[in-house]
Amino acid sequence: MADPLDDDENALVKLASLLVLGVGLAGLFLGYDRFWLVFALGFAVLVPMVKVVTETFGVGPTSNESDHRQRNRTADEPESTQDALDTLRDRYARGDLSESEFERKVEALLDTETPESARRRIERESDSTDARDLADGSFETDESAR
C-alpha cells in the first residue's frame, strides 16, 4: 500500500479537484444545463492555478520536501542501504535465506556502507582466506609444486 506522505501532490490541489468534481456532479444531478462548464473550467483552470499558487508561495509540501521525506526513511541510513535491508528482510521472511545467511549478509551490508569500509572488508576476508588455506595445508607454494 502506498504511503500517502510520499505523494507529490499537495493537499490543496486534491481538495480543489474534489471540489470541482463535487460541484460538477451536483450540477449534473440537479439538472443544470451547463454543468459541464464546471468540469472544463475547474480541471483546466482552477486545479492548475491552485497547484501553481501553492508551489509559488510554498503552501503545502513541495517536491523537495517529499524527496527529503523519501530519502530520510531512516535518518542514519542512505536509501540504498535501507532498500537492501528491506530486500534481505523480505527474502528471510519468505524463507529464501537461512538465519545464518541473513545475519552474514546484513553484517556484510552494514560493514560496506562506504567504499573504504568495503575495501577493508575485502582485505580482511582475503587475509582470513589465506590463513585458512595455510592452516589446511591446501595453500601451494613454489617448493611443493616441484
Establish if 27 belongs to a structural domain.
yes
Q: Is residue 77's pLDDT more than 50?
A: no
pLDDT greater at residue 73 or residue 88: 88
**pLDDT tens digit string along 129-143?**
666 666 666 555 555
32 and 56 in a single domain? The answer is yes
Q: b/e map of 14-38 (b: 16 or more CB within 10 Å)?
A: eebbeebeeebeebeeeeeeebeeb
Q: Looking at 30, 52, 70, which one is the last position of a domain?
A: 70
At 6, is the pLDDT very low, low, confident or very high (cuts 50, 70, 90)? very low
Tell me if 143 is assigned to some domain: no
- pLDDT on residue 37: 93
Domain that holds residue 82: 75-136
Are 64 and 92 found together in one domain? Answer: no
Which distant-in-sequence residues (6+ apart) come within 8 Å of 113 by Cβ?
Answer: 77, 78, 81
Indicate whether 141 belongs to any domain. Answer: no
Q: What is the tally of structural domains in the chain? A: 2
For residue 127, what pLDDT is reported?
A: 77
Q: Which of 70, 96, 127 is where one domain is finished? A: 70
Q: The pTM is what?
A: 0.39
Counting beta carbons within 10 angstroms of the beta carbon of residue 76, is it exposed (0 to 12), middle (13 to 18) or buried (19 or more)?
Answer: exposed
- In a shared domain, residues 118 and 92: yes
Residue (of 58, 29, 24, 57) closest to 42 by Cα position: 24
Answer whether residue 146 is part of any domain. no
**Among candidate residues 19, 54, 70, the one where a domain is terminated:** 70
Q: In terms of domains, do 83 and 112 share one?
A: yes
pLDDT at residue 49 greater than cutoff 60: yes
Q: Give the least confident one: 40-49, 65-74, 117-126.
A: 65-74
Query: What average pLDDT score do residues 62-76 get?
Result: 49
Place of cell 490543496: 12
